[in-house]
Amino acid sequence: MPQLTSRRTLWILILALALCARLGAAFWWQQRLGEKQFFFGDSDGYWELARAIAAGERYQYLSPELRVFRTPGYPVVLSSVFVIYGEQPPVQAARVLGAILGTAAVGLAGWWATLLFDARAGLIAGAITAFYPGAIALSTFVLSEAPFVPLMLAHLALWTAAWQAEAPKRRFALACCAGLVAATAVLMRPSWLLFTPFSIGIGLLIARDRTWQMAIGGVMLVALAVGMLPWWIYTARVTGRFVPTTLQVGASLYDGLHEGATGASDMRFVPEVTARVRAEGDPNDPDIFEVRVDQRMWNESVAWAKQHPGETLQLMGVKLLRMWNFWPNEPAFRGWAVRLVLLATYVPLVVLGVIGAWRYTRHGFPYALAWLPAVYLTLLHVAFVSSIRYREPAMIALTVLAAGVIANVQTRTQE
């Protein structure tokens, strides 16, 4: 039987408090919503797809024309609620599931910090993640970030472990695991697809051992492709073409780049564009309707950006500010209590994360993996739409660097 050391006791306490904080937030949020099931529109889509999976129905959203609307990762996870409770499960059960997943993220953040620094930093990273309001919020809403964040952290921690492994077989196995976990993360949040090649490219620029970077990265990319293969086969059968993630990429880009775009998500344009595509449809066009709509929105958004370069740059600036804002963008979260909590936790964490990035990146590429999500997600969302919600996974990655800085200060103080 493992000995209950002081470190294990602290970890049990941190995880227990993290779970309690998330469960408390989940019940408070559901009570605040009242009779309304969800706050975010995305939640309805995930809920309906989860119901269809649990019932063994065709994977489609609202109509047979929308079969590649969402990647199946989160709906599969959420379908467990329907399997347990039946056709009409309580939404609170999904929030409890999110709380459990959020607690797993706390442990994974601690493990990753331990790999990069030491056990003390691991405890600090776990404690920060346990009580960071953004991490708690992602566990509360019925959104794909709930399973994505622990998978993202596992991906980055396994990538770090592969770098640190001395035995080639162990390095290969860890890189394979990292790639498969990355694929699972993509199936939760499709925007994560390009993170691995993006980071490999950055690694080739800053890493000392480029051969090592290529070897680990190559294995990881192959494993990622293997993990994505079932979804790629499905989408090819449905659409007759290769679809990397979903057929909502065009709509997402149009959401951020069109006349009247504000940087925030507002999908009220979808019915109008869909009606135009349907009216202009060519009966001889071999592409299915969902593909045509996706292509139309993508092409129109790119054309608009080319015709309005000044407005596009201005929108990019607005999106950048929205993503890294000190204050909530959403009116429902602009109470002074929320503002002060956000300011008091967000600013110190960013400052410590930046200090950690500057101080530790020189020690090796794995340390860069803690700030690369912030760069990658920022570049992505200044093109699409932006909100504080989209920065939170990157903030949780930054807690690892912040923990390293705090642990280092504590060590110096004790000396």
Q: Which of 205-214, 289-298, 342-351, 401-410 has the lowest mean pLDDT?
A: 205-214
Among 5, 13, 11, 4, smallest CA distance to 123 is for: 11
Please, what is the average pLDDT of the chain? 91
Q: Is the dihedral of CA 3, 4, 6, 12 positive or negative?
A: positive
What's the pLDDT tens digit per position in 333-384?
666 777 787 878 899 999 999 999 999 999 989 999 999 999 999 999 999 9
pLDDT exceeds cutoff 80 at 398: yes
pTM above 0.85, yes or no: yes
Q: Which whole number is the average pLDDT over 226-248?
A: 94
pLDDT at residue 264 greater than cutoff 60: yes
When mean pLDDT is compared across 89-93, 245-249, 280-284, 285-289, the lowest value belongs to 280-284
Confidence band, pLDDT 50/70/90 cuts, at residue 2: very low
- pLDDT at position 1: 38
Tokens in use for 404? 């390293």
> Nearest to residue 109, comparing CAs of 350, 398, 345, 354?
398
The pLDDT value given to residue 63:
77
Confidence class for position 282, pLDDT limits 50, 70, 90: low
Q: Which own/partner pairs from 259-264 qualify as long-range (CB within 8 Å, at least 24 positions apart)?
A: 259/304, 261/315, 262/318, 263/315, 263/318, 263/319, 263/322, 263/385, 263/386, 264/322, 264/329, 264/385, 264/386, 264/387
pLDDT at 266: 86
* Listed residue (158, 162, 159, 152) closest to 184, CA to CA: 152
Taking the C-alpha atoms of residue 292 and residue 36, their distance in angstroms, rounded to an integer, is 34
Confidence of residue 207 (pLDDT cuts 50, 70, 90): confident
Number of H helices, E strands in the chain: 18, 0
Q: Tell me the percentage of the chain whose pLDDT exceeds 70.
A: 95
pLDDT of 139 strictly over 80: yes
Of 32-46, 186-200, 236-250, 261-275, where does mean pLDDT reach its minimum? Answer: 32-46
- pLDDT of 289-341, one tens digit each? 889 999 999 999 999 999 999 999 999 999 999 999 887 777 666 667 777 87
More confident residue, 147 or 265: 147
Q: Higher pLDDT residue, 42 or 315?
A: 315
Averaged over 234-242, what is the pLDDT? 92
> If 0-12 CB within 10 Å is exposed, 13-18 middle and 19+ buried, where does residue 407 land?
buried
Q: How far apart are CA 267 and CA 253, in angstroms?
A: 11
What Cα–Cα distance (Å) separates residue 168 from each residue in 154, 171, 174, 223, 255? Answer: 20, 5, 10, 16, 46
The arithmetic mean of pLDDT across residues 206-217, rounded, is: 82
Residue 209 confidence (pLDDT): 77
Q: Which residue has the higher pLDDT, 178 or 62?
A: 178
Burial class (CB in 10 A: 0-12, 13-18, 19+), 235: buried
Percentage of the chain with pLDDT > 90?
A: 71
Query: Cα torsion for 118, 120, 125, 128, to the nearest 10°?
Result: -170
- Pick from 38, 222, 20, 273: nearest CA to 142: 38
* Average pLDDT, integer, range 73-77: 96
The pLDDT of residue 334: 62
Per-residue confidence band for 275, with pLDDT thresholds at 50, 70 and 90: confident
pLDDT at 86 over 60: yes
Mean pLDDT within 108-123 = 96
